[in-house]
């Protein structure tokens, strides 16, 4: 495998991981806004995963409005994961 191909593979892996993290966070925002049943296994899994992914930004914003707090506290990490993941992947592609 050439060095160019391995760089593209690494970049692809980084992008997929960043995109999956952002999708999980976005899915939790959607489920929270739609008031999903938290006793459901899928909803519980997404909530736990999103809580872990957004742990570093937990309660960064403390708005009185619950929906706005959820969007900001989980949306910011989603954007950060996308930006950093795609930037790192771009560096891998150039190597």
Per-position DSSP letters for 24-79, written without gaps between them: HHHHHHHHHHTT--TTSHHHHHHHHHHHHHTGGGTTSS--SSHHHHHHHHHHHHHH
In tens, the pLDDT along 34-52 reads 999 999 999 999 999 999 9
pLDDT value at position 60? 85
Confidence of residue 7 (pLDDT cuts 50, 70, 90): low
- Break the chain into its structural domains and give their ranges: 3-94
Query: Is the pLDDT at 95 greater than 90, yes or no?
Result: no
This prediction has a pTM of 0.87
């Amino acid at each position: 495998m050439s060095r160019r191909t391995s760089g593209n593979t690494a970049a692809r892996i980084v992008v997929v991981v960043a995109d999956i993290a952002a999708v999980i966070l976005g899915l939790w925002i959607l489920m929270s806004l739609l008031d999903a049943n938290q006793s459901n296994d899928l909803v519980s899994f997404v909530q736990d995963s999103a809580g872990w992914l957004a742990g570093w930004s937990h309660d960064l914003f403390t708005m009185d409005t619950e929906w706005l707090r959820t969007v900001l506290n989980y949306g910011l990490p989603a954007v950060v994961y996308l930006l950093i993941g795609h930037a790192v992947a771009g560096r891998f592609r150039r190597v």
